[in-house]
Structure 1
Amino acid sequence: MSSPLDSTVFRIALAAALGLFLGLEREWSQKSAGIRTFSLISLLGAVFVVLDQVALLVVGGVLVIAQGVLLAVEGLVEDNEEGLSLTTSVSMLVAYGVGALVASGFLIEGVTVAVLSSLLLVLKRELHDIAWGLSREELRSATEFAILAFVVYPLLPADPIDIDLGTTTVAFEPRVAWLMVVLVAGIGIVNYAVVETYGGRGIAVTGFFGGLASSAAVVGTMIDHVSQRPEATAYAVTAVLLANAAMALRNLGIAVVFTIDGGLLYGAIVPLGAIVIGSVLIALVVADWSGEVELELDNPFSLRNALAFGAVFTLVLLAGAVAEVELGRLGFYATAAATGLISSAGATASAVLLYRVGEISADTAVIAILLATAASVLVKVGLAAAGPNRAFAVQVAGWSAVLLAAAGGATAVVVLV
Structure 2
Amino acid sequence: MTDPVADPLVEVLLYLFLSAGLGALIGLEREQSESGGTFAGSRTFPLFALYGALVSAFFPGLLPIAIGVLVVPLTVAYAGKIWYERDLGLTTLMAALLTTVLGAMTMHSETGAVAAIVVGGTVTILLSIKDPIHEFADQIEETERIASAKFILVVLVVLPALPNRPLDSLYGLNPRFIWLMVVFVTGLGFVAYVLAQFLEPEQSIALTGIIGGFVSSTATTVSMAEKTVQNETLYHVCAFAVVTASIVMFPRALIEVAVVNPELLPSVAVPLGVMTVVGIVAAGTLYWRTTSDETVESGELKNPFRLRPALLFGVVFAVVLLVSEHAQEWLGTSGIYATAFLSGLADVDAMTITLSKLAADGTVSPEVATTGIVIAAIANTLVKAALAWLLGTYRLGRLVSIVLGVVIVSGLVLLLI
Q: Same fold (TM over 0.5)?
A: yes
1:294 equivalent among 297, 311, 319: 297
Contact conserved, 1:219 with 1:380, CA < 8 A, in 2? yes
2:218 equivalent among 216, 219, 222: 216
> Any gaps of 5 or more consecutive residues in structure 2?
none
- 1:296-335 equivalences in 2 (<5 Å): 296-335=300-339
- Give the superposition deviation at 1:277: 1.8
TM-score, scaled to structure 1? 0.86
Q: Which moved more, 1:379-388 or 1:289-298?
A: 379-388
Contact conserved, 2:268 with 2:370, CA < 8 A, in 1? yes
Question: Which residue is equivalent to 2:44?
Answer: 37
- 1:11-410 equivalences in 2 (<5 Å): 11-28=15-32, 29=34, 31-32=37-38, 33-52=40-59, 54-55=61-62, 57-80=63-86, 83-105=87-109, 106-147=112-153, 152-153=158-159, 156=162, 161=166, 172=173, 176-196=177-197, 197-260=199-262, 262=263, 264-287=264-287, 288-290=290-292, 291-295=294-298, 296-387=300-391, 389-410=393-414
Query: Quick one: structure 1 residues 298 and 11, their matched pair in 2 at CA, closer, same or farther if it must change by over 3 Å?
Result: closer
Once residues 95 and 379 of structure 2 are traced to their aligned partners in structure 1, the CA distance between those partners, rounded to angstroms, is 52
Once residues 272 and 304 of structure 1 are traced to their aligned partners in structure 2, the CA distance between those partners, rounded to angstroms, is 30
Query: Quick one: structure 1 residues 321 and 45, their matched pair in 2 at CA, closer, same or farther if it must change by over 3 Å?
Result: closer
- Give the superposition deviation at 1:73: 1.7
TM-score, scaled to structure 2? 0.86
Once residues 24 and 367 of structure 2 are traced to their aligned partners in structure 1, the CA distance between those partners, rounded to angstroms, is 54
> Any gaps of 5 or more consecutive residues in structure 1?
none
Contact conserved, 1:187 with 1:213, CA < 8 A, in 2? yes
Q: Which moved more, 1:299-308 or 1:101-110?
A: 101-110
- Give the superposition deviation at 1:320: 1.3
Contact conserved, 2:221 with 2:388, CA < 8 A, in 1? yes
Contact conserved, 1:148 with 1:182, CA < 8 A, in 2? no
One-letter code of the match for 2:55? F
| Percentage identity across paired residues of the two chains | 30
One-letter code of the match for 1:39? P
Contact conserved, 1:248 with 1:276, CA < 8 A, in 2? yes
Q: Choose between structure 1 and 2: higher helix proportion.
A: 2
**Cα offsets for 1:264-291 (capped at 9, x unmatched):** 2434223322332222212222331421
CA RMSD of aligned residues (A): 2.7
One-letter code of the match for 1:37? T
